[in-house]
Amino acid sequence: MGQARILDGKALAQTIRTEVAEGVRQIEAQGNRPPGLAAVLVGDDPASRTYVTMKGKACREAGFHSVQVEMPEDTSQEELLDKVRGLNADPSIHGILVQLPLPAHIDEMTVVRGILPEKDVDGLHPVNAGNLVIGLPGFVPCTPLGVRELLMRSGIETAGRFTVVLGRSNLVGKPLALLLARKGKGGDATVCLCHSRTSDLASICRQADILIAAIGRAHFVKGDMVKPGASVIDVGINRIDDPSAKRGYRLVGDVDYAAAEKVAGAITPVPGGVGPLTIAMLLRNTLESALAAAGQHSAVTPKG
């Protein structure tokens, strides 16, 4: 096949963030509140802190009202739930995200259930997850939304295409499989959701017109697992040691990029592929929530 077309998620994310910023200007011009996003960080996990900081910066650049709540590692579950209840009641906040993972003594799903579904811009509340399953409007997790947006805006047809999703997490794999199978634009795919117990995984991958790797294992997908001309979407972000790198490590995906790009028709790089789209879609979800609060239109993915 030669060299695959590179799908530039970083450039697309900037386009979406520009669109969101324009949406903010319009909603304010009509006398409404700007979108407000609250990020809650419990403890001092370096990766989580970096991600929350990035979200805050993106919010400010888009003209959002941004709130960052920091709580100590020993915060009790009830203290965290009290904070969430306060944000639920705050009309200036349209989106609430509690950065995961939480300390071991706090039950993550209990906290997620404490967020109002209409402010659950991460799309993890059981109400939103259930709406996705049965095709009703509801917030969808941001990474799956970003993958679908990348496919649509790159001109990659999903309707009728055999699509293999590697990984069954609640954050990526499951919602992505459901999203791509929905009726309508960016959907109608024939989806096979694979995982660590799938038999003859390599053979299934080789049949995929669209192969999406979200399994959390560096370079798991080899070149001989890719169908010639397939679109390969790499959701994975893994650190591997590299003494020659500035930080002593480098980031790689779940796909062996050097091998796969020789076979694929299109492929996402890591970094610079799916990653930047996650924050862009978080901003868009929050804008949608603000529009709904202003009574302008539904704050969610259309029916399908």
CATH number reported for the structural domain that contains residue 36 in this entry: 3.40.50.10860
Residue range 181-187: mean pLDDT, rounded: 96
Per-residue confidence band for 297, with pLDDT thresholds at 50, 70 and 90: low
Q: Please compute, for residue 303, the number of CA atoms within 13 A of its CA located in the half-sphere on the CB side.
A: 1
Q: Over the stretch 50-99, which tens digit does the pLDDT of each residue have?
A: 889 999 999 999 999 999 999 999 999 999 999 999 999 999 999 999 99
Transcribe 196-257 into DSSP letters. Answer: TT-TTHHHHHTT-SEEEE-S--TT-B-GGGS-TT-EEEE---EEEE-TTSTTSEEEE-SB-H
Given a contact cutoff of 8 angstroms between Cβ atoms, the answer to whether 215 and 167 are in contact is yes
Q: Is residue 285 part of a domain?
A: no
Domain of 69, in residue numbers: 31-116
* Closest to 201 (Cα-Cα) out of 180, 176, 179, 222: 222
Q: Over the stretch 228-237, which tens digit does the pLDDT of each residue have?
A: 999 999 999 9
Verify that 265 and 195 share a domain, yes or no: yes
Q: Which of the residues 55, 83, 119, 174 is marked catalytic?
A: 55
Q: Given 83, 119, 120, 122, which residue is catalytic?
A: 122
Closest CA to 93 of 115, 123, 71: 115
**Residue 180, token pair as written in the block:** 């791509």
Q: Flag whether the pTM goes above 0.75.
A: yes
The reply to whether 145 and 242 lie within a common domain is yes
Q: Which of 99, 120, 209, 234 is catalytic?
A: 99
112 & 151 share domain: no
Average pLDDT for 28-35: 96
Q: Is 3 a catalytic residue?
A: no
8 belongs to the catalytic site: no
pLDDT, residue 2, reads 64
pLDDT band at 296 (very low <50, low <70, confident <90, very high): confident
Annotated active-site residue 30? The verdict is: no
CA dist 70 to 75, 82, 103, 261, 287, Å? 10, 14, 13, 42, 23
Residues 246-271, mean pLDDT to the nearest whole number: 95
Q: Which residues of 115-152 are buried (b: 16+ CB within 10 A; e: fewer)?
A: bbbbbbbbbbbeebbebbeebebbbbbbbbbbbbbbbe
Question: What's the rounded mean pLDDT across residues 241-254?
Answer: 90
Cβ distance 145 to 122 under 8 Å?
A: no
Counting Cα atoms < 13 Å in the Cβ hemisphere of 226 gives 32
CATH code for the domain in which residue 271 is found: 3.40.50.720
